[in-house]
Structure 1
Amino acid sequence: MKKLEGKIAVVTGASKGIGASIAKQLAAEGAAVVVNYASSKEGADRVVDEIISSGGKAIAVQANVAKKAEIEHLFAETQRTFGKLDILVNNAGIYEFSPLETITEEHFHKQFDLNVLGLILASQQAAKHFGAEGGSIINISSIVSTLTPPNGSVYSATKAAVDAITKSLAKELGSRHIRVNSINPGMVETEGTHTAGIMESEGRQQT
């Protein structure tokens, strides 16, 4: 029997990159996976197809996690399809780097709405849908919460908020058998980091 056999997992922002890899690994461990995406239906469908072709169970559900009605739809679809929820991986996020003088309200709110508000809304719904046995919330933070690179003040602040929220919710929800943890990865080569030119910039700094 696989480690996560019979478990149901929601992974936000799972159409590509880290989220896609997490979704596929959870499925490989036996979990049925809800692959959430905001706009890349093609990417989400590809992840679902890979999981199913490997003998797993998965569905794709569109939702902008920063929108309350859409996040409610995501968890309602999870409940309708699989009947329960055991694991939430809060992976959806965005990173934009900007020097202080060019930071705008849009730049600020875009990142905080998705990286912080979205995480809270998803966690709120997960806590409602976990059964009496509890569940697990895993927040994907970042090493930038402590490294605080130049031009990354807003993004770093969102991830520092994720770290603080994780610690607070772990204390708040522990009595309900809900575990809350975070993972703070360093630089990971994904479609997003290449598109933003981050990997190339990092490579130049290290040579």
Structure 2
Amino acid sequence: MELAEKACVVTGAAQGMGLAIATDLAEQGARVILADLNADGAQAAAAQLRRDGHNAHGLAVDVMAADSVTDLFAAAEDAIGPIDILVNNAGLSMDTSVRKMTQAVWDRTIGVNLTGVALCSQAAAQSMIPRRSGRIVNIASRAWLGWWGQLPYAASKGGVVSATRSLAIELARYEITVNCIAPGLIDTPLLRAEPPEVMERLMQAQPTGTIGTAQDVAWATRYFVAPATRSVTGQVLYVCGGKSLYARPAV
């Protein structure tokens, strides 16, 4: 229970990796805000955590909108106090070849995946800086290294990695750490929605031949937010089954 009474915000927490992260933090004693564009889903997930004996609340947020992010953090502080931990997990993938990419796809991918990280980190930092304490964890993707058909997604997640490094430099003097997790293939509703032929190609390129779990990402998050890792900042931790090292060519 090393996170007892820590106040946490996890975005994109209605399902998948975000829900696994929020659940793991709650099980470590943290007070958790599950924030999501799907407000009903976030509230339902939080209600289940409360039934399990945890301190959790579901709140709506559109991470692309500054006013919505401001409202989220105001409501979060009213509910659980000044924020100690932020996990920027909200994200989406709209894979398309460069020839078929539309500006709408580009704008929404960058808006959710990168602008959302910037706005939420700014709001959290404003609360953390006066207290000279805090942890920010950004969920990027192994895809930031590049992959076919993922120009918008890879660019957005590459921006998350760069934003992590810049935030880590700027906030280090306030004893706030900022780190990044880069998952690969993770068993989530988003991945399960992929067509069978896409999954076959992805699995052929996977060095371990296996898919990670959302709990794998939750454990990595717990490492970065633990009190013992106060000297770890600006780092990228891959949870990708080796795909960051190389990807086997599809046969």
The CA distance in 1 between the partners of 2:118 and 2:23, in whole Å, is 24
Query: Where in structure 2 are there 5+ consecutive unaligned residues?
Result: 205-251
Residue pair 2:39, 2:59 contacting (<8 A) in 1 also: no
Aligned pairs (5 A) from 1:104-183: 104-130=102-128, 131-146=130-145, 148-183=146-181
Report how far residue 202 of structure 1 moved: 2.6
Q: Compare 168-177 and 43-52 and name the one that shifted more.
A: 43-52
Q: Structure 1 residues 97, 52: CA separation in 2 closer, same or farther (over 3 Å shift)? A: same
- SS at the partner of 2:131? coil
Divergent runs of 4+, >3 A? 204-207
The CA distance in 1 between the partners of 2:148 and 2:201, in whole Å, is 15
Number of residue-to-residue matches in the alignment: 203
The answer for the alignment partner of 2:191 in structure 1 is 193
Q: Compare 8-17 and 74-83 and name the one that shifted more.
A: 74-83
- Give TM-score, length-normalised by structure 1: 0.93
Tell me whether 1:22 sits opposite 2:21 in the alignment. Answer: yes
2:199 is aligned, of 196, 202, 205, to 202
Match of 1:164, as an amino acid?
S
The CA distance in 1 between the partners of 2:202 and 2:88, in whole Å, is 30
Query: Where in structure 1 are there 5+ consecutive unaligned residues?
Result: none
- SS at the partner of 2:58? strand
The CA distance in 2 between the partners of 1:50 and 1:59, in whole Å, is 10
- SS at the partner of 1:102? coil
1:59 is aligned, of 54, 57, 60, to 57
The answer for the alignment partner of 2:10 in structure 1 is 11
RMSD between superposed Cα atoms in Å: 1.4
Report how far residue 204 of structure 1 moved: 4.6
Match of 2:119, as an amino acid?
L
The CA distance in 2 between the partners of 1:46 and 1:190, in whole Å, is 18
The CA distance in 1 between the partners of 2:203 and 2:79, in whole Å, is 47
Residue pair 1:136, 1:179 contacting (<8 A) in 2 also: yes
Report how far residue 194 of structure 1 moved: 1.6
- SS at the partner of 2:186? coil
Deviations 1:136-192 (A, max 9, x none): 00000100111x111111100111110011011101100011100000111101111
Q: Structure 1 residues 83, 105: CA separation in 2 closer, same or farther (over 3 Å shift)? A: same
Report how far residue 47 of structure 1 moved: 1.6
Match of 1:29, as an amino acid?
Q
Report how far residue 46 of structure 1 moved: 2.7
The CA distance in 1 between the partners of 2:39 and 2:76, in whole Å, is 19
Q: Percent identity?
A: 32
Report how far residue 100 of structure 1 moved: 1.0
